[in-house]
Amino acid sequence: MNRSIISLLCLSLAGCAAVGPEFHEPKVQAPASYSVWHGGDSSLRDTGLPAGTAESFARFNDPVLHDLQEKALAASFDVRSAAVRFAQSRMARDVAAGSFGPQVSARAGAARQRQSESGASTRMVDAIAPAANRDALIGKLSAPFSLYQAGFDASWELDLWGRVRRSVEAADAGMAEASSLLRDVQLAVQLEVARNYYDLRAAQRQQALLREDLLATQEIANLVDARQRGGLASGLEVEQQQSTLAELQGRLPALLEQEAAALNRLSLLLAQTPGALQAQLAAVGGLAVVDAAVRGPDLALGVPGEVLRHRPDIQAAEARLQAATARIGVAVADLYPRVTLGMSLGLESVDAGKFGDWGSRQWSLGPSLQLPLFDNGRRRATVELRELEQQEAAINFHKTVLKAWHEMDDALSAYAAERQRQQALAAREASARTTLELAAARARRGMSDQLPVLQAQRALLAVQRERSASDSALALRLLAICKASGLAPQT
């Protein structure tokens, strides 16, 4: 009866509350809108982006980009490494949770043994055997014999103070951190693929416009040369056109290098060899899709506090804070006694024929207590160390949140500035196009030759090159907003 009462008491104590502080989700201060927390000129507050929810954030309608991102997520070395680290965290959690239940092990063995004739056991022989029989008895006891053993042992540490529960809580937080870091790497790979893709398309688009400009400049040079031969232009005008032509030709190698570098970066992100994407990402086709995606994304910023909570680095920082809090409980629990229930049951015999007999059984059952008395302050110092680690994790969490707000404000300001620049370039392009139409109309009526037309065409191409660069820059600004919000763009 007494044993039953003790067992019930131990089981009830196992349900006690865990020691150490409880983790509470840290509060994050957030503005009602992004324009409230803004640094810089007030004109950069208006991004022109519609408000909405975080579920539909940014959309770039480009199937080629979508295909590249899917392949990169499957092949990226960084993503695969992060996935392995997440799997490791799951196994670490299973290791911690394994301490919850009883630990059972089986044993078996057969050995041939001989005891010493002058060992400690001879003291008992001297005490109970007559001197005449001493040598015979010692000879009998020291004769070689076989010992057969089998059985199992079980132990269960009662989690009275929540040491195991806090360990599992810390492991759960570690798994959440690894999951957030995996998403962070996946987001980084998607954005890096998109950034290099737009760098590539920008270089290809600039090459196409530059080649058109070269054709127009060559026609102007030919026309000026003909006029010089007819005495209508000077040699200075001819040399000026040749200089302009050479200057344009000198821009092409840099654009070719930009295209090659972007191709190689994309190949590396997809874990492929240099040149593997050459055919897929050729300049023919796809440029119009990129332009359309840059000009008209479906972007909804959503509620600031909701969006910032999606950032993987903030989620990882919060998980680290939770793990640090749980480890305080583990350290505090080590200050208290540990109670372990143990049981051993088995068979032992020196006669193989009697090994399975009921009389060969042996067993033991009972609790054991481990009480820390003195360790020179080690356990107390461990508690203080864990508390300091929690303080550091809390500081890093708030730093990560504040950094996120700054990154979001920087990204939105950059987007607003580029959007204003693009609007100005659109007006310039419209004016240049009108100028070209008027020059062409005058040439058709015979009021001028083709030189003003070609010059107007070159002016339009120059604006279009700036507009194309602005389109690409605007796409990169949108990617920066995606990174700041922690939401991957949809393609």
User: Where residue 264 sits, what CATH number does that domain have?
Assistant: 1.20.1600.10
Same domain, 429 and 356: no
Same domain, 245 and 258: yes
Which pLDDT score is estimated for 353?
81
Please report the beta strands in 269-359, taking only residues with DSSP state E, as ranges in sequence order.
338-349
The answer to pTM > 0.85 is: no
Cα-Cα end-to-end distance for the chain = 71
Condensed to tens digits (0 to 9), the pLDDT of residues 368-383 reads 888 888 889 999 999 9
Same domain, 144 and 58: no
Same domain, 279 and 230: yes
d(CA 5, CA 367): 13
Which pLDDT score is estimated for 157?
86
Which pLDDT score is estimated for 468?
86
Q: Give domain status of residue 223, yes or no.
A: yes
Same domain, 86 and 139: no
Q: What is the 3-state secondary structure (H, E, C) of 66-92?
A: HHHHHHHHHHCHHHHHHHHHHHHHHHH
Same domain, 332 and 441: yes
Handedness of CA 388, 390, 393, 394 (dihedral sign): negative
> Dihedrals φ, ψ of 150, to 5°?
-160, 150
Same domain, 277 and 390: yes
Condensed to tens digits (0 to 9), the pLDDT of residues 110-159 reads 888 888 877 777 777 777 766 667 777 777 777 888 888 898 888 888 88
Handedness of CA 125, 126, 130, 133 (dihedral sign): positive
Q: Give domain status of residue 205, yes or no.
A: yes
Q: Give domain status of residue 182, yes or no.
A: yes
- Domain of 225 in residue numbering reads as 11-100+162-336+382-485
> Dihedrals φ, ψ of 309, to 5°?
-70, -15
Same domain, 328 and 428: yes
Condensed to tens digits (0 to 9), the pLDDT of residues 351-368 reads 888 888 888 888 889 888
Same domain, 175 and 224: yes
Q: Give domain status of residue 245, yes or no.
A: yes
- Whether residue 361 contacts residue 346, with contact meaning beta carbons closer than 8 Å, is answered with yes
Of 347, 371, 395, which closes a domain? Answer: 371
Say how many domains are in the chain.
2
Same domain, 193 and 311: yes
Same domain, 133 and 275: no
Q: Give domain status of residue 457, yes or no.
A: yes
Condensed to tens digits (0 to 9), the pLDDT of residues 326-344 reads 999 999 999 999 888 989 9
Same domain, 439 and 358: no
